[in-house]
């Protein structure tokens, strides 16, 4: 029943996200996450190895955050995915070093150095105010969060992806913060 509820929720919130993003022109979409709001900017400053993701389709874009990190002299990494395993993060000096990987998602090649991230910025399909995240359903990020328990977990999303309650099980790991184009939702007393 839980898996069926998650499947239905994924379908609905992918449609919502797609419809919302389809109404945005390219400059508006790219500028939405151009400058990180101060709580996220503070986290970016406090952490050395920041893991981003390659946005696909209507996911909240990360390219402007990569530019911001580069301007700040910070290291950033992108995930390399394999089925049924935690993500591996590889440092990239520039976005153009990403190549087509698992399910055609852009990822760093093997020549890029592997890093253990301090901060993981993750995509999501839906979220709730309790900082629960509904992902694509493969469990990559939950396995990764378990692999890096000391890393701060941040979800990046559009505001239309908020739902009243995300169904969770024992394998689902909450985020510390969710950043949308219009607000930040975070723990009162963040703990890894």
139 labelled as ligand-binding?
Answer: yes
Provide the CA 131 distance to its chain's centre, in angstroms.
Answer: 13
Would you say 91 is a known binding-site residue? no
59 annotated among ligand-binding-site residues: yes
Q: Is there a binding annotation on residue 137? A: yes
Question: Is 136 annotated as ligand-binding?
Answer: yes
The two tokens of residue 156 are: 């990046």
Cβ atoms of 145 and 89 closer than 8 Å: no
184 marked ligand binding residue: no
140 labelled binding-site residue: yes
Question: Is residue 138 annotated as involved in ligand binding?
Answer: yes
Return the half-sphere exposure (C-beta side, CA atoms, 13 A cut-off) of residue 165.
Answer: 5
User: CA 35 → CA 8, 10, 91, 163, distances in Å?
Assistant: 33, 28, 21, 25
Distance of CA 185 to the CA centre of its chain: 14
114 marked among binding-site residues: no
Q: Is 3 a known ligand-binding residue?
A: no
Per-residue tokens: 41:
């900017």
Whether residue 9 is annotated as binding a ligand: the answer is yes
Is 10 annotated as a binding-site member? yes
- Residue 133 counted as an annotated binding residue: yes
Instruction: Extract the annotated binding site.
Output: 6-10, 59, 133-141
Residues annotated within the binding site for substrate are: 59
Q: Give binding residues for ATP as ranges.
A: 6-10, 133-141
């Amino acid at each position: 029943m839980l898996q069926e509820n998650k499947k239905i929720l994924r379908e609905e919130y992918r449609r919502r996200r797609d419809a919302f993003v389809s109404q945005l022109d390219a400059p508006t979409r790219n500028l939405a996450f151009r400058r990180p709001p101060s709580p996220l900017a503070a986290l970016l400053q406090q952490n050395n190895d920041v893991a981003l993701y390659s946005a696909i389709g209507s996911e909240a874009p990360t390219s402007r955050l990569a530019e911001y990190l580069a301007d700040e002299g910070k290291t950033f990494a992108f995930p390399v995915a394999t089925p049924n395993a935690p993500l591996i993060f590889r440092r990239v000096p520039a976005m153009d070093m990403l190549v087509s990987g698992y399910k055609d998602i852009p990822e760093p090649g093997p020549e890029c150095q592997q890093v253990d991230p301090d901060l993981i910025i993750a995509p999501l399909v839906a979220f709730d105010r309790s900082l629960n995240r509904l992902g694509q359903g493969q469990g990559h990020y939950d396995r990764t969060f378990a692999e890096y328990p000391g890393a701060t977990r941040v979800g990046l999303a559009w505001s239309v992806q908020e739902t009243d309650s995300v169904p969770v099980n024992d394998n689902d790991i909450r985020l510390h913060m969710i950043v949308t184009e219009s607000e930040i939702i975070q723990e009162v007393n963040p703990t890894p």
